[in-house]
Amino acid sequence: MSGDDLTPSEGAILLVLMAEAREVSNTELKKRYGVDIRKPYRDKLNRLGYVDSRREGNTFLHQLADKGWIRVQENLNFQSSVGRTLGGALAALQVNLRDRVMGRSDYQSFGEMFALTDVRAAAPRADGREVLRTRIRQAYGALAAEPGAWVSLTRLRPFFADVDPADLDEALRDLEREPDVDIVPESNQKQLTPDDVAAALRLGGQDKHLLAMGVG
């Protein structure tokens, strides 16, 4: 995603939201880390689709968006004439998390590594298809704000970089037959990104983009 012209400060904001891996208020970010996502930062990161923000009372709540999770795995520029050593430290952290830590673990993405709950399936005791369905439920549980919340397949698929896409599609189709699972198209097709189109599941003659589990 080169060409987005992110500043070192904006890249650092993405890393902070990656580490939090949840919706967090600007007030809490300032208190815990001294990070203030001011309006110019917020507007730009929202426009690029890297951060989702919403107002609540006198503050804003922020979380890394689907495109943001993809962006933090690409090189970010932290070089600045002010705080050069700090910028180097952030760059070293990002590169080595991606190139060394993930390489020595079972994690396939930063989204999986920083999820608030473990999205990796336990040692398989059933057939491979059942294990994959279990992994999908665990990944959904890590991504969804609550049972029944919609999670885009764009955000889900990076958790399964080790799985053949055809096998993942088949597991999703199997799950869709279960009573607590819905997979639906995005109602506003104009807001679909190329990543959303690529991540869609062909089901029932339609391209579907959103997953919900634990529905009534």
Give me the mean pLDDT over the 75-99 stretch. Answer: 69
Q: What is the mean pLDDT of residues 50-73?
A: 89
DSSP secondary structure code for residue 100 in this structure: I
Q: Averaged over 171-199, what is the pLDDT?
A: 91
Q: How confident is the model at residue 139 (pLDDT cuts 50, 70, 90)?
A: confident
Q: Which helix (H) or strand (E) holds 71?
A: helix 66-71
Nearest-angstrom CA–CA distance, 196 and 138: 21
Instruction: Give 87: exposed, middle or buried? Use CB within 10 Å, 0-12, 13-18, 19+.
Output: buried
Instruction: Please choose, from the candidates 111, 94, 79, 77, the residue with its C-alpha nearest in 3D space to the C-alpha of residue 3.
Output: 77
Q: Hey, CA dihedral for 107, 111, 115, 119, is it positive or negative?
A: negative
The helices-and-strands tally (H runs, E runs) of the chain is 10, 8
CA–CA gap between residue 165 and residue 55 (Å, rounded):
37
- Grouping H, G, I as helix, E, B as strand and the rest as coil, residue 181 is strand
Residue-level pLDDT at 123: 43
- Residue pair 37/81 in contact (Cβ under 8 Å)? The answer is no
35-44, 111-120, 131-140, 161-170: range with highest mean pLDDT: 35-44
User: 201 — alpha (psi -120 to 50), left (phi > 0) or beta?
Assistant: beta
pTM: 0.52
Report how far apart, in Å, the C-alpha atoms of 64 and of each of 61, 143, 196 are.
11, 11, 16
